[in-house]
Amino acid sequence: MDFDEYEMLAFFSRLFPGGLRHPALLAELCPEGWERSPLFACMHPSAARCYEEHCELHQTMKSLDDNLRARLLPEHRESELPDDPEMSFEEYLREYPEEAAPFTAEAVVAEPAELLGLCLWDVFGDNHLVITEDGESAAMETLGELAGVIAEFHARAADAPEWREPDEDMWEWHDADPMRFETGTLWVAGRADLAPVYRMIFRRLRAVGADWEYGFPRLHLHEPPPVDDGSFSSYDPSAALQRETERKAREAEMRRRRRRLDRAALAAKREARRQQPPAMVLAFQVDYGGFPSGWPPDPYDPE
């Protein structure tokens, strides 16, 4: 059974009793100070790194456009999807002039706490699973709910009273915005080595007797529920036949899409087995002494 938001907050409080903004966490994570830490680049990337990310996104979008263009009729290929040439670095700087982000005393606390929250989403979400010492799954029903709890925990002050039980009366909600945490470290992972952050999380998981299972990330299709288009009294045989024909066509298309996603997942798993394990897996190995369950991924199981 999934955790509710109070149970997840309680579990996070066991891992980080003073919240994510506790000064001891910063000292442990960045003994040289936040501004001198390599992790600082996650929140303050250089112009060169921003340009690299822009080019990576451009190439991804171009690949999607190329796939879509190949599906269009020849007479529509150029008119519907015009080419978008990649910017040079000089053009990028003119279009997006580098502006130094304001850096305040609050940022010294908030930024590393935010990075830790993003890494928490990576560990607890993205198809992975944390198992408590009692064998329970420390998971929430949706990743959006997980992001909301992490946002709330991130907003907690370092001097907030410690609590452990999931009691609704023991938490003053901050109305925190979950959107910053909904994709984990997707946008910052290439800016620095996140292994020290993952190791901090796994050290605490191991200390409370919890385990972690690796789940290979993959896309899933959302299938809307069937719609009842009318009552028996208004039954129209012709309309019913049309709806049935459309339903079968939708199901056939969904099967084709699922097969394409399954093939892509299997190909990605085979490629992953040839590469170095992900940073989270290596961080787990250091503190637990071996690979987590689920790694390496099964190249014959698309899930």
Which pLDDT tens digit goes with each residue over 2-14? 888 888 988 998 9
- pLDDT above 70 covers a percentage of the chain that reads 76
pLDDT of 25 strictly over 80: yes
Q: Is residue 45 in a domain?
A: yes
- Angle 105-124/143-155 helices, nearest 10 degrees? 150
pLDDT band at 178 (very low <50, low <70, confident <90, very high): confident
Dist. CA 266–CA 301, nearest whole Å: 7
pLDDT band at 58 (very low <50, low <70, confident <90, very high): confident
Q: Is residue 246 in a domain?
A: no
pLDDT at position 236, please?
Answer: 73
pLDDT of 153 strictly over 80: yes
Mean pLDDT across 122-140: 92
Q: Is residue 253 in a domain?
A: no
- Model pLDDT for residues 87-109, shown as the tens digit of each residue: 888 887 888 777 666 677 788 88
Q: Is residue 94 in a domain?
A: yes
* pLDDT top residue among 247 and 48: 48
Q: Is residue 224 in a domain?
A: no
Q: Is residue 258 in a domain?
A: no
Q: Is residue 236 in a domain?
A: no
pLDDT at position 147, please?
Answer: 92
- pLDDT above 90 covers a percentage of the chain that reads 33
pLDDT at position 163, please?
Answer: 47
pLDDT of 217 strictly over 60: yes
On whether the pTM is more than 0.85, the answer is: no
Of 275, 297, 298, 294, give the one whose Cα is nearest residue 284.
294
Q: How many domains does the chain have?
A: 1
Mean pLDDT across 206-232: 71
Domain that holds residue 157: 5-217+275-288
